[in-house]
Amino acid sequence: MISPGLAIVLSLWVPILGCVAVWLFDKQPNLREAATLITGAVLLFLTITVFMAVGAGERPGYLLIEVIDGLPISFQAEPLGALFAVIASGLWVVNSVYSIGYMRGSNEKHQTRFYMSFAVAISAAMGVAFAANLFTLFIFYEVLTLSTFPLVTHKGDANARRGGRIYLGVLMATSIGLLLPAIVWTYAITGTTEFTVGGIFAQHSDAVAPITGVLLGLYAFGIGKAALMPAHPWLPNAMVAPTPVSAFLHAVAVVKAGVFSILKVVVYIFGIDFLSGSGGGAGASVPFMWIAAISILLASSIAMHKDNLKARLAYSTVSQLSYVTLGAMLATQMGVMGGAMQIAAHALGKMTLFMCAGAIYIAHHKTLVSEMRGMGRIMPFTFGAFILGAMSIIGLPPLAGSWPKFFLMLGSADAGQLAIIAVLMISSILNVIYLLSIPVQAFYLNPAEGDAKPQGANEGGNGGTGIQWGALKEAPILCLLPPLFTATGAFILFFFSGALYNYLKPLIGGG
Amino acid sequence: MGTWMDFILERYNYWVVIILMMIGLYTVFARGNLVKKVVGLNVFQTSVFIFYITIGKIAGGTAPIYIGGELDHGGGHGDDAAGGGHGEAGEHGAEASAHDVSEAAEITESLHGKIDNAVGNAPLNELKDVVSDQAATADNPSLHDAPVGDTAKIGNDALLDVKPEVAPSFDVATDHGEEAAHQVGEAAHAVTEIVYTNPLPHVLILTAIVVGVATTAVGLALAVRIREAYGTIEEDELEAIDDIAEFGAKDTAGGMT
Amino acid sequence: MSLIAQLPVLPVIIPLVLAPITLLLPKGRAPHLWATAVSWLTFASCAWLLMEVSEVGLISYYLGDWAPPLGIEYRIDLANALVLLLVSALAAVVFPFAYESVKAEIDERQSPYFYGALLICMTGLLGVTITGDAFNVFVFLEISSLSTYALIAMGARRDRRALTASFNYLVMGTIGATFFVIGIGLLYQATGTLNMADLHDKLIGQDNRMVQAGFAFILVGVGLKLAMFPMHLWLPNAYAYAPSAVTAFIAATATKVAVYVLIRFFFSVFNFDFPFIGAAFTYVLLPLGLAGMFIASLAAVFQDDVKRMLAYSSVAQIGYMLLGLSFATVEGLTASLVHVFNHALMKGALFMAVACVVLRAGSHSIHAFAGLSKRMPVTTWAFLISGLSLIGVPLTVGFVSKWYLLEAAFAAGHWYAGFLIVASSLIALLYIGRVAEVMLLREPATEGPYAIQEKDAPLSMLIPMWVLVAANIYFGVRTDLTGGLAERAAAALMTVAGGTP
């Protein structure tokens, strides 16, 4: 067993090594993919090591370098970060398997560049997860943005260029324009950017109190990856990327890095107590809570109008991410807990949905919801997984997604914001409409005459690839198993929520 | 005569500087011909040369050429022990007049102290004019032989004409300043027969002249090259040619003009 | 007389004495090798000098053993030791880089003159930095400027607009230098001395109109030299049409040295007891710095010529340095000095990357950059990394600069300036992003004027360029040399100037 401190360091370097290995095996796809998978497995082992240590009460840390006096690049694991790291690295393995199936299935170009960028991105995500201070977090946050840019623009056509421009533009504009000043301002006031249990603003209440709202706003919108409206346009535009990128980065690593950062800032920089009750910044978070609530409803409404499946899922993500922001801005213990659990639950659920979307594309080259009528009968496993994922997102038991909703409602009640409970309920209903309608149509409706035939003709030729078994025409096995796996994960996580709750308890000041 | 007239006439060497400077700058900006621009630049620089010579001039002072036999430090050699002494000799016009003949460093030091006191609001060179005016009454050496070339001579001529009228109230020296200046003057008078113009500005301006000549040379050389490349040295024509080259025939390098 | 005693004069004497020898050498490789050797020697002496200074704190050297204030004094403290190192280091990198680029862009018969002039230019810049005598600053300033005019004009072989650009620079530069001399003259009139330290002592308490006028002339004169907005009009064309290697060198050093002169006069000659110093900070440097940051950045976005774009960006970056100064705090001054250093690294690398493109594509239009990542990947990545540095992405020097500047802004209570700084960085994101997109996502032209063969620049160019790129990253992570020294230098300068007003 290696020490947790070392495991943190290695978790940053292992993906980089993997990246080099991928580059070296440029011409041998099998070795190259093996390198990715091995890297993923090693990384998962490392993060689990850290996760266990943190669960046992340790707080392993590592100081890399002191860039400017008082501003080190340093790492320290705590429950939320360890959880995020395990989710990210675990789902990376799943996603790598899926990527292999997808990328080969669709004969994408530049696959080596694809895997290399992925490895750098995951390293950056680890850096975000384990960052011990805002400065470190910001550095890896930016690396994450830049390393995913080649993935978003993977196709290299005009559409991808446009998407990439918006992606990079929004994310860099918010992070440099808002987040960086917020961090420097914090540093100028407090002289530190360390994440501290209980927050660092409580000791500087006099200086911070008048500008709490401003700072909170800078953080909330500056962390553009959290896609709080109106800083969300990058996310739908990132959907020009290949599906594995959307599935992993834009449902897990990148967006979760965003909401994770918001949670960390609220909990460890502001401090829940500072933002609530008799704290110096009490009430400052309420406007942002409402912005998050509006973001939830608005994004869901937009999602209903999207016929493109990936676009619909993207807006669903915008909506679901705002749950976490909402939880943070409630500034109650249960709210934060709900937000933290939402990170885990939504990751499993949304990844399942994206991988299903990719599987449908690989097998039948269909991207529009309206084209998927009746497809449940030829892709039952895919759509089965889709139903589970959708139910988890909606928050139906016995799936993982139900717990965050529960805690968020508790948090709203604690904060005395009963209207938020109504918002959460309306949102769930909207989710039912725009998510469950897809598999329902797929299973119960007949394929529309007009579009089934020409599409079918395409498929019959060399259009789609995958398994054919009787009437079934599923995606390749490597594209089929991962969504089934994550869907099962969402189911299992439901029963381990108690353990998760206990694990995350230090976050809200509990044992 | 009105005070305004006095004000203008007493400073007329400065007015010359200002007028020349403006003529030069105006030529640079208003003329489209590159050679005229260079000439304008030259006039502008020349005005600054005159300005430097003006501030170094001590009325009645002679060119800083070693004359008598009794001087032992005409500007100071690399004699570190007397570092302070020769430094002041070169730099403080007022002191220089007193100092050149002084054998004892103490006098210098005492003068220095007084001047420093006097400096207050009144700039030193104004004092120095006052001082040297008194000193100059004893002896009135030629002011013509400053070896700085034509420009310097123009400056000196101007000075020669104006100096006799320039009264001790050359500028707004405070009472305190005048008193100190008076003392300095007396001290200077007591010990000196020969007054030297401050040599340092001359040295500086020699350097500046060299720089100016070089600039002119480079500017004219560029004008020649521009004429070879474009066939004209009129600025507006050059711009028109560049515009046509850029927008008419799609030149290699884009950009706005 | 040991060498160490004469060390302070070496950075000026070595290139000054050895430069004319280039003219005697046969055309071709020899002048380049000679100049490179000289630049390395100079760099070594500057590095040595910096080490000495960081131990001793202040070195004073009497030129010809004539004691100040009459004689010329070389006065080296941390601030100018840092700038000396910067200039000589950039020279040491640019000289080896220049060969291939110069061979392609300049008539071979001119090469001895070219390297001679470049060495003289470096001498001038080093002299400006090292000297403690106000008039000497003017002389060296003109030495470097005159050689720069000639160097820029040598770009005429590729584009005749270099001639007019050089002429305009000559006119503006000479006016600036002459203004500076007038200012020096007025100060001399007020104090009777030219030595900076002596000036500082004698100026104390002299808040009269002569000193004010002197200050104003110096501010405008140096402002012209450093292309302070709106006195920057000479700069874009001069940078765009100069030979690429020259642009890389002067963009990285010339304006930086002028900024240093400004700092020197603000803090070491004048002091904060003069009310006009505070007024200049608040009413001149702050608004002009901010205006430069924005207007020049916006102008950069609309340039189709990458060299011009980077030139406008330089004007904007100078705005940052002036802004840092204008806070009149140790933090602000530190930020300025750090940015002087860091900006030289990034702009040097960027202009070198452009030089590589010019070598292969024969143009610095943005069209020549299409699909460059496929044709010249090594150059592309150098451009991208230094471009990110310019934007201020973490782990690069640009980020360190920005951090210091933001911290200074917030600490000085100018929080609005903090937001304007980041807003201006976002404009940098626009113009760098535009080039990056063209390089990465466009297909390279296969025919027509912008077709490039699939061949990266020669190693003699790639290695120096990547040395600078590596410095961009190294000093983005280790700030002991830049930040640490700058902070000490700023504290020392601030003490002389009398603390915050």
Average pLDDT, chain A: 85
Asked if the Cβ–Cβ distance from B48 to C210 is below 8 Å, we say: no
In which band, very low, low, confident or very high, does the pLDDT at A70 lie, cut at 50, 70 and 90? Answer: confident
What's the one-letter identity of residue C111? Answer: S
Asked if the Cβ–Cβ distance from C411 to A160 is below 8 Å, we say: no
Do residues A98 and A358 make contact, with C-beta atoms less than 8 angstroms apart? yes
Which is higher by pLDDT, A27 or C318?
C318
In which band, very low, low, confident or very high, does the pLDDT at B226 lie, cut at 50, 70 and 90? Answer: very high
- What domain range includes position A454? 4-508
* Bridge partners (DSSP) listed for residue A73: A65
Which is higher by pLDDT, C499 or B139?
C499
Average pLDDT, chain B: 64
Residue B225 with chain C: CB contacts under 8 Å: 153, 156, 163
Do residues A338 and A405 make contact, with C-beta atoms less than 8 angstroms apart? yes
Q: Does C429 reach chain A within 8 Å, measured CB to CB? A: yes
Chain B with chain C: Cβ pairs closer than 8 A: 136
CB-nearest to C415 from A153, A185, A187 is: A185
pLDDT of residue B67: 66
pLDDT of residue B191: 53
Residue C393 with chain A: CB contacts under 8 Å: 142, 146
Could you give the CA distance from residue A459 to residue C78 in angstroms, rounded to a whole number? 73
Q: Which tens digits make up the pLDDT trace of A75-113?
A: 888 888 899 999 889 888 888 888 888 887 777 778 888
Do residues C404 and C337 make contact, with C-beta atoms less than 8 angstroms apart? no
Residue C305 with chain B: CB contacts under 8 Å: 253-255
Percent of all residues in chain B with a pLDDT value above 90, rounded to a whole number? 21
* Bridge partners (DSSP) listed for residue A131: A75
DSSP secondary structure letter of residue A473: E
Terminal CA-CA length for chain C: 44
pLDDT of residue B70: 52
Could you give the CA distance from residue B65 to residue A68 in angstroms, rounded to a whole number? 59
pLDDT of residue B166: 38
Helix extents (H) in A305-371: 309-330, 333-364
| pLDDT, mean of residues B177-200 | 63
Distance, C-alpha A67 to centroid of its chain? 29
Burial of B72 (0-12, 13-18, 19+ CB in 10 A): exposed
Residue A143 with chain C: CB contacts under 8 Å: 394-395
CB-nearest to A184 from C407, C425, C477 is: C407
Asked if the Cβ–Cβ distance from A181 to C429 is below 8 Å, we say: no
Q: Which two tokens stand for residue A248?
A: 């992993």
Could you give the CA distance from residue A291 to residue A235 in angstroms, rounded to a whole number? 18
pLDDT of residue C170: 94
Which is higher by pLDDT, B156 or C290?
C290
Q: Is the pLDDT of residue B110 over 80?
A: no
Terminal CA-CA length for chain A: 26
Please report, for chain B, the start and end positions of each structural domain, with discontinuous segments joined by +: 1-57+199-257, 65-144+162-197
Contacts 24+ apart (CB under 8 A), C481-484: C482/C338, C482/C341, C482/C342, C482/C397, C482/C400, C483/A68, C483/A69, C483/C334, C483/C338, C483/C400, C483/C404
Residue A153 with chain C: CB contacts under 8 Å: 440-441
Which is higher by pLDDT, B185 or C116?
C116
Mutate to test the interface with C, among A180, A208, A218 (most CBs of C within 10 A): A180
Which CATH class for the B1-57+199-257 domain? mainly alpha
Helix (H) or strand (E) holding A48: helix A29-55
Residue A150 with chain C: CB contacts under 8 Å: 440
Q: Which string of b and e fits A265-289 if b means at least 16 CB within 10 Å?
A: bbbbbbbbbbbbeebbbbebbbebb
| pLDDT, mean of residues A399-403 | 87
Which residues have C-beta within 8 Å of that of residue A222, sequence separation ≥ 6?
A: A174, A175, A177, A178, A179, A180, A181, A182
Asked if the Cβ–Cβ distance from A181 to C404 is below 8 Å, we say: no
Could you give the CA distance from residue B166 to residue B175 in angstroms, rounded to a whole number? 18
Q: Which two tokens stand for residue C58?
A: 């202040």
Chain A: nearest CA to C53, how far in angstroms?
Answer: 22
Q: Sign of dihedral through CA atoms A416, A419, A422, A427?
A: negative
DSSP secondary structure letter of residue B78: S
pLDDT of residue A154: 85
| pLDDT, mean of residues A445-453 | 57
Do residues A323 and A282 make contact, with C-beta atoms less than 8 angstroms apart? no
CB-nearest to C441 from A138, A156, A173 is: A156
Asked if the Cβ–Cβ distance from C478 to A65 is below 8 Å, we say: yes
Q: Which two tokens stand for residue A499?
A: 């353990």
Distance, C-alpha A486 to centroid of its chain? 14
Q: Is the pLDDT of residue B174 over 80?
A: no
Terminal CA-CA length for chain B: 55
Q: Is the pLDDT of residue A461 over 60?
A: no
Chain C: nearest CA to A133, how far in angstroms?
Answer: 14
Nearest alpha-carbon partner for C182 in C133, C227, C218? C218
* DSSP states of A225-256: GG--TTS-THHHHGGGS-HHHHHHIIIIIHHH
Q: Is the pLDDT of residue A194 over 90?
A: no
Q: Sign of dihedral through CA atoms B232, B236, B239, B241?
A: negative
Digits of tens for pLDDT over chain C (501 positions)?
Answer: 566 788 889 999 999 999 999 989 888 889 999 999 999 999 999 999 999 888 888 888 888 888 877 788 999 988 889 999 999 999 999 999 999 898 888 888 888 999 999 999 999 999 999 999 999 999 999 999 999 999 999 988 888 899 999 999 999 999 999 999 999 999 998 888 889 989 998 888 888 888 999 999 999 999 999 998 888 889 999 999 999 999 999 999 999 999 999 999 998 898 888 888 888 888 889 999 999 999 999 999 999 999 999 999 999 999 999 999 998 889 899 999 999 999 999 999 999 999 999 988 888 888 888 888 888 889 999 999 999 999 988 889 999 999 999 989 988 888 888 889 989 989 998 999 889 888 888 887 777 777 777 778 888 889 999 999 999 999 988 888 888 888 888 888 888 877 543
Distance, C-alpha C332 to centroid of its chain? 18
| pLDDT, mean of residues B32-37 | 93
> How many CB atoms sit inside 10 A of residue C6's CB?
12
Which is higher by pLDDT, B93 or C96?
C96
The answer to whether C and A touch (≥3 CB pairs < 8 Å) is yes
Number of structural domains chain A divides into: 1
The answer to whether B and C touch (≥3 CB pairs < 8 Å) is yes
- The ipTM (two decimal places) reads 0.89
pLDDT of residue B107: 41
Interface of C with A in 445-484 (CB under 8 A): 476-479, 483
pLDDT of residue A454: 40
Which residues have C-beta within 8 Å of that of residue A349, sequence separation ≥ 6?
A: A389, A390, A392, A393, A399, A400, A401, A490
Q: Which tens digits make up the pLDDT trace of A226-285?
A: 888 888 888 888 888 888 888 887 788 888 999 999 999 998 888 888 887 777 777 788
